[in-house]
């Protein structure tokens, strides 16, 4: 199917007509909700406060069973622009409520908002302006992701929306498949209707299929760099409350994701866009598969077996050039999963995004070096597990990837730990004999370090014991609110190599209270394993008592003439 240009709209209507009646809306903001009475008012208010006033707000309720209907009706009663729709039964997804709202509005432009997210104040105005500057099928902007647990925010896929431009079809920039959110876009209603484009019902990850279809059907679309959506993320929400994309512990989630990818692949073929398949495959590996891979260290054997059974048949259909673009460790994990070397894949996944090497390597008759202790049986597998010319064997000592694991741990008083650490050096980068290592931790400008000795156990493996107490780390006068991961440093002359310290996942976290600076500084300090990903040893500081109340003043003092005096009065934390 071929898209045609959108007919340009007339002048923007005013918020009200001369008689005082509400102006006809030219944009519909569809707010979908299910059992989210608490956050729905925030989402709706963000739509009400848009700088562009001539809009309607459709609350589309997927048959909630909490107080959502009462809350939604109250919101509709406060603003004539708000309409409340309620589905007769729960659909179990996002598609049906969005489609119902599309059928209920005649506004020439449509955008979508989830009940747990927000629109920045000028989102509608910015996207509508893009449409009116040049008629396109849809306009899209930047998305800011906000972590609910920490408050930290970052732009989603910032490189894709860094500059303003109009793209003449997805073939011109197939990398935009990475931006698969439907909520970052404003669609021309005529475009959706012309192609019968609606959200697929009865499946999850509907955004990915809908967006892939929109990209392929659009003749042109405009990208703007301004933020048009605020996406709130709760990475550690309970499984019953987590969003569908965060329910990665469920094998049904894997099955759903693979199913929608196959639907996308079929549509690419049907629509004549097979040329973008390698880019789409790379997106799947780099985004979708990468999320599951990061969780592999958390999964048991039965889950891994089910995961491989669902995913490997699809992984085997992806373009080889998509695998070739992956970073080394991601490529290794994918290949180990495809080879059903699942325990090794779980071990390798602890190094994703970190300078972590393998425990063992193997060499073939030609001297090539491969991950693990088995020479791969196929040319493709040898290519993807080959470590000879990149990663752990290449480059100077400072960037070599060793592997440091806590193999024994005894908790002492407070936050003190007695650790047994094993360092793996299968490529024999370290000199023969004992090594002096340092554990380092820096929650502020002053590093807390503890030296200890690593003794050889066998070629390429060292082991040592060290006692560390994170409560002895010196904190800034203004306190510290955050977490740090101790690192292990090795040295060769003036060169330093710093690597993460992987912790056992089953040891219990411990919390204690720490005071410093004559009692002026107080923190709650928790030591335990990192809750997700690699599972590094993690230390978390939370200001308490007077520190929590005077942090703004303390930060100001720390930059002023009293800083030196405060330093003289403080010293290391005890």
Taken in order 337, 342, 344, 348, the sign of the CA dihedral is positive
CA–CA gap between residue 518 and residue 188 (Å, rounded)? 64
Lowest mean pLDDT among 49-63, 419-433, 476-490, 503-517: 503-517
What is the structure's pLDDT at 549? 62
What is the structure's pLDDT at 499? 95
Query: 469, 415 in Cβ contact below 8 A?
Result: yes
Q: Which domains does the chain have, with CATH numbers?
A: 27-237 (3.90.550.10), 251-394 (no CATH), 399-570 (2.60.40)
Tell whether the model's pLDDT for residue 452 goes beyond 90: yes
Tally of CB atoms within 10 A around 78: 11
DSSP label at residue 285 = I
Tell whether the model's pLDDT for residue 93 goes beyond 70: yes
- pLDDT tens-digit readout, 353-371: 999 999 999 999 998 999 9
Tell whether the model's pLDDT for residue 119 goes beyond 70: yes
- Nearest 10 degrees: Cα torsion 499, 504, 509, 514: -30
Nearest alpha-carbon partner for 258 in 309, 186, 303: 309
Tell whether the model's pLDDT for residue 449 goes beyond 90: yes
- pLDDT tens-digit readout, 504-543: 988 889 999 888 777 778 899 999 999 877 899 999 999 9
Tell whether the model's pLDDT for residue 10 goes beyond 70: no
Q: What percent of the chain has pLDDT over 90?
A: 74
Nearest alpha-carbon partner for 439 in 478, 475, 489: 489
DSSP label at residue 474 = P
Helix axes 545-558, 563-570, angle to 10 degrees: 130
What is the structure's pLDDT at 463? 98
Tell whether the model's pLDDT for residue 557 goes beyond 90: no
Confidence tier at 563 by pLDDT (50, 70, 90): very low
| Beta strands per DSSP E along 128-275 | 138-147, 153-156, 165-167, 185-188, 221-233
Average pLDDT, the chain: 88
Tell whether the model's pLDDT for residue 545 goes beyond 90: no
CA–CA gap between residue 429 and residue 421 (Å, rounded)? 18
CA–CA gap between residue 10 and residue 14 (Å, rounded)? 12
CA–CA gap between residue 498 and residue 521 (Å, rounded)? 30
Lowest mean pLDDT among 167-176, 179-188, 229-238: 229-238
427: tokens are 């490529």
Confidence tier at 565 by pLDDT (50, 70, 90): very low
What is the structure's pLDDT at 516? 79
DSSP label at residue 38 = T
What is the structure's pLDDT at 217? 97
Q: Would you mind telling me the total number of residues written for the chain in this entry?
A: 574
CA–CA gap between residue 547 and residue 125 (Å, rounded)? 43
What is the structure's pLDDT at 83? 97
Tell whether the model's pLDDT for residue 390 goes beyond 50: yes
Query: 386, 370 in Cβ contact below 8 A?
Result: yes
Q: pTM for the complete prediction?
A: 0.84
DSSP label at residue 94 = S
Tell whether the model's pLDDT for residue 247 goes beyond 80: no
Tell whether the model's pLDDT for residue 566 goes beyond 70: no
Tell whether the model's pLDDT for residue 574 goes beyond 50: no
- What mean pLDDT is predicted for residues 212-240? 87
425: tokens are 């050096």
Tell whether the model's pLDDT for residue 46 goes beyond 70: yes
Query: 220, 133 in Cβ contact below 8 A?
Result: no
- Better pLDDT: 19 or 266: 266
Coil vs helix vs strand at 407 = strand
């Amino acid at each position: 199917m071929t898209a045609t240009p959108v007919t340009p709209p007339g002048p923007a209507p005013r918020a009200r007509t001369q008689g005082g009646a509400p102006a006809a809306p030219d944009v519909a903001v569809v707010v979908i909700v299910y059992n989210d009475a608490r956050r729905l008012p925030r989402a709706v208010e963000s739509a009400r406060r848009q700088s562009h006033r001539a809009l309607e707000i459709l609350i589309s309720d997927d048959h909630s069973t909490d107080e959502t209907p009462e809350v939604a009706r109250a919101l509709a009663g406060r603003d004539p622009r708000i309409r409340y729709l309620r589905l007769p039964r729960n659909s179990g997804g996002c598609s049906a409520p969005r489609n119902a709202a599309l059928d209920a509005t005649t506004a020439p432009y449509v955008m979508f908002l989830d009940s747990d997210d927000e629109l920045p104040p000028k989102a509608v105005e910015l996207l509508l302006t893009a449409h009116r500057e040049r008629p396109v099928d849809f306009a899209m902007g930047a998305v800011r992701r906000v972590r609910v647990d920490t408050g930290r925010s970052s732009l989603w896929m910032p490189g894709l929306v860094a500059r303003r431009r109009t793209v003449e079809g997805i073939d011109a920039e197939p990398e935009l498949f990475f931006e698969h959110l439907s909520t970052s876009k404003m669609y021309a209603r005529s475009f959706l209707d012309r192609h019968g484009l609606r959200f697929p019902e009865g499946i999850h990850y509907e955004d990915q299929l809908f967006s892939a279809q929109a990209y392929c059907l659009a003749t042109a679309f405009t990208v703007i760099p301004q933020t048009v959506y605020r996406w709130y993320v709760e990475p550690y929400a309970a499984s019953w409350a987590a969003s569908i994309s965060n329910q990665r512990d469920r094998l049904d989630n894997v099955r759903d994701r693979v199913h929608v990818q196959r639907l996308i692949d079929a549509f690419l073929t049907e629509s004549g866009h097979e040329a973008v398949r390698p880019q789409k495959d790379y997106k799947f590996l780099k985004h979708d598969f990468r999320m599951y891979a990061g969780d592999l260290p958390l999964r048991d054997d039965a889950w891994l077996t089910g995961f491989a059974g669902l995913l490997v048949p699809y992984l085997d259909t992806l373009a080889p050039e998509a695998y070739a673009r992956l970073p080394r460790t991601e490529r290794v994990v994918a290949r180990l999963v495809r080879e059903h070397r699942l325990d090794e894949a779980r071990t390798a996944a602890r190094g994703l995004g970190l300078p972590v090497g393998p425990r063992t390597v193997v060499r073939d008759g030609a001297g090539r070096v491969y991950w693990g202790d088995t020479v791969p049986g196929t040319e493709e597998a040898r290519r993807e597990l080959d470590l000879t010319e990149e990663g752990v064997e290449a480059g100077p000592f400072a960037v070599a990837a060793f592997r440091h694991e806590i193999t024994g741990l005894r908790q002492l008083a407070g936050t003190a730990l007695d650790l047994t650490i094993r360092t793996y050096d299968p490529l024999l980068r370290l000199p023969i004999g004992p090594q002096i290592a340092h554990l380092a931790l820096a929650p502020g400008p002053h590093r807390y370090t503890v030296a200890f000795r690593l003794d050889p156990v066998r070629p390429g493996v060292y082991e040592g014991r060290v006692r560390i107490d994170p409560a002895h780390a010196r904190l800034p006068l203004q306190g510290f609110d955050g977490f740090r991961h101790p690192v292990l440093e090795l040295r060769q002359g003036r060169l330093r190599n710093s690597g993460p310290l992987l912790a056992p996942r089953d040891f219990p976290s411990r919390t204690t209270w720490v005071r410093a600076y004559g009692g002026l500084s107080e923190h709650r300090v928790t030591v335990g394993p990192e809750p997700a990903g690699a599972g590094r040893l993690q230390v978390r500081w939370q200001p308490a008592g007077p520190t929590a109340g005077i942090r703004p003043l303390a930060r100001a003092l720390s930059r002023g003439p009293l800083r030196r005096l405060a330093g003289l009065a403080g010293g290391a934390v005890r």
